[in-house]
């Protein structure tokens, strides 16, 4: 069974959304990322795995410190573009939640999930 390295429920504040007002004021995003390693970790060495702190740094770079975009799908693609540069990673699974997304009726949670694998 492949090894997966993850970052669960990392909440950040950022300015992204389909509407102009969403791109003007920070709102919460909750991100979970799982990266599957291309091979098993044989030795007890950090160089053989993905440091989960790198996943947190990727979120900070591509979501918190980036120019506003309209779609969470775009944010997922940006994360994949960055994380997949690491040759140790063979697959990535991302779940992005937007708890304060504007809905026409009370209730619900806006969620986008994205899967990527090296082919």
98 in active site: yes
| Residue of 25, 70, 78, 98 marked active site | 98
Q: CA 71 to CA 51: how far, in whole Å?
A: 27
By the 8 A CB rule, do 98 and 72 touch? Answer: yes
Q: Nearest 5°: phi and psi at 33? A: -130, 135
Closest-CA residue to 56 (of 76, 83, 38): 83
**Which residues are the active-site residues?**
98
């Amino acid at each position: 069974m492949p090894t997966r390295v993850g970052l669960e429920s990392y909440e950040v504040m950022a300015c992204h959304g389909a509407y102009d007002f969403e791109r003007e004021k920070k709102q919460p995003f909750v991100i979970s990322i799982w990266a599957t390693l291309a091979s098993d970790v044989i030795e007890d060495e950090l160089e053989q795995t993905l440091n989960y702190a790198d996943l947190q740094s990727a979120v900070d770079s591509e979501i918190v410190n980036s120019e506003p975009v309209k779609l969470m799908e775009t944010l997922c693609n940006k994360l994949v573009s960055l994380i997949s540069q690491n040759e140790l990673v063979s697959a990535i699974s991302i779940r992005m939640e937007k708890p304060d997304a504007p809905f026409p009726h009370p209730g619900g949670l806006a969620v986008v999930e994205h899967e990527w694998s090296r082919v």
